[in-house]
Amino acid sequence: MFATFVSMCKNKEIRNRILFTLAMLFIFRFGTAITVPGVNTAELLSGADDNSLIAMMNLLGGGGLEQLSIFALGVGPYITASIIIQLLSMDVIPPLTELAKSGATGKKQLDRYTRYLAVVLSFLQGFTMVFSFSKTYPTLLESNAVFAQCFYISTLLTAGSMFLLWIGDRISMKGIGNGVSIIIMAGIVARLPHQFTSAYQTLVGSLDSSAMFGGLLNFGLFILCYVLIMIFVVFMQLAERKIPIQYTSSTVQTRKKDMTYLPLKINSASVIPVIFSSAIMVAPLQIARFFYAEGSDVLVTMTKYLGLTTPISLTIYVILILMFTFFYTKLQVDPEKIAENLGKSGTYIPGIRPGTETKEYITKVLNRITVLGAIGLAFIAVLPHALPLFTALPQSMGLGGTGIIIVVGVAMETVKQLEGQLTQKSYRGFMTR
């Protein structure tokens, strides 16, 4: 790890990419502190930690929601639009399905449709959010023209979300990692000190000296949970199922230690299912707040099923994670294409005929390991939310645990990409000698 860091510092191109990424993240954090004009966020700020919906949206937005900043929506609308377009391209709308199968050109067109939909969703989400907040917090809007003010603020929030998406594109092109994922990670990392401080105040700060030991023990358990989640996420990201392959031109039996393998990740979907599931759980509650007042029977019922604070809502959360894990794995890994590439490269799986049998074998292996990956991902995603139901740990543990899963996953993918770029540079340098 240290050697990789030293190599990155020595490589001018990668160093410039890192500096560019940091500059873009600085703009993101600076914009997060800019509140939209015409609002009074004092009451919203005080209720951010008490409302699970606001807390979840605030976490994914890097703290921009509690201040109602120009980046309050974050990249959430784009994520939601991606979910919708990907679902519709799965044999639901034939033209979208054809675009999904037509290679890079089709994917570029689908991405364009996703961005158009993201603009619409940003405006609807912004208007719904501001209008519901104005009903929950009467002093939020400084103007009496509620509808006009909501329209104005939602337009600013839409522009901010699209600008943030542009920053993500710049990071993907000229920086390191996936821009959208890096922005989400940066927002979560910025909120972690606040979450740890809040947990300490909840568990230890308000106790007298006689109960101090128990509070410190609970806070230690809080930290231990975070560490265990990080370890488990790293394990899930690195776990692979290696399928042995052999070249048809080889006439000599290959030794086991020299055997070539086809690696299939246990969790090919990474942290995307957690992000998708969280977005789906949050969206209906947000829409419902537009039509119903706080404390109504409908909102109470929806919070019970979608609030991630009850066993029922956690069960639904698990089901969504399992579904999205399989769904995204199918998008990421194509057994038919792998089998085709193996045939073209003159390789085969020992004991398996090339072509259809190879495809079926890879599909079977992929389904089996995806079951393990989906269960493991669901476990580490639900554990932080489940612990506060049975222990004295605060509810913020759940949101923080989800954030840790995303941060560790994105960080590992980014480091892996950097190592790949360093290796590529090494090969180029070798070839030019």
Domain ranges of the chain: 1-175, 215-433
- pLDDT band at 289, cuts 50/70/90? low
In whole angstroms, give the CA distance from residue 173 to residue 164: 14
- Give the DSSP per-residue string, 394-433: -THHHHHHHHHHHHHHHHHHHHHHHHHHHHHHHHHHHHT-
Average pLDDT estimate for 364-385: 87
Report the distance separating Cα 200 and Cα 7, nearest Å: 38
139 pLDDT more than 80: no
Please determine, for residue 419, whether its predicted confidence score (pLDDT) is greater than 90. no
pTM for the model: 0.77
> Looking at residue 117, what is its pLDDT?
92
Collapsing DSSP to helix, strand or coil, 71 comes out as: coil
So what's the pLDDT on residue 252?
Answer: 46
Which fold would CATH assign to domain 1-175? Preprotein translocase SecY subunit (1.10.3370)
Name the percent of the chain lying above pLDDT 90: 9
Q: What is the pLDDT of residues 143-176, one digit of tens each?
A: 777 788 888 889 999 999 999 999 999 998 988 8
Tens digit of pLDDT for each residue in 184-214? 888 888 877 877 887 788 777 766 676 777 7
CA 128 → CA 67, 76, 153, 164, 401, distances in Å? 17, 14, 11, 20, 27
Domains 1-175 and 215-433 alike in fold: yes
Q: Which pLDDT does position 77 carry in this prediction?
A: 86
Alpha carbons 160 and 156: distance in angstroms, whole number: 6
Its CATH class, for the domain covering 215-433, is mainly alpha
pLDDT digits (tens, 9 = 90+) for 217-261: 878 887 887 888 888 888 887 888 888 888 776 544 455 555 688
Nearest to 65 by CA among 147, 141, 129, 121: 129
Strands 260-265 and 240-247: antiparallel
Closest CA relative to residue 243, chosen from 222, 263, 271, 259: 263
Spatial distance between the Cα atoms of 283 and 60, rounded to a whole number of angstroms = 13
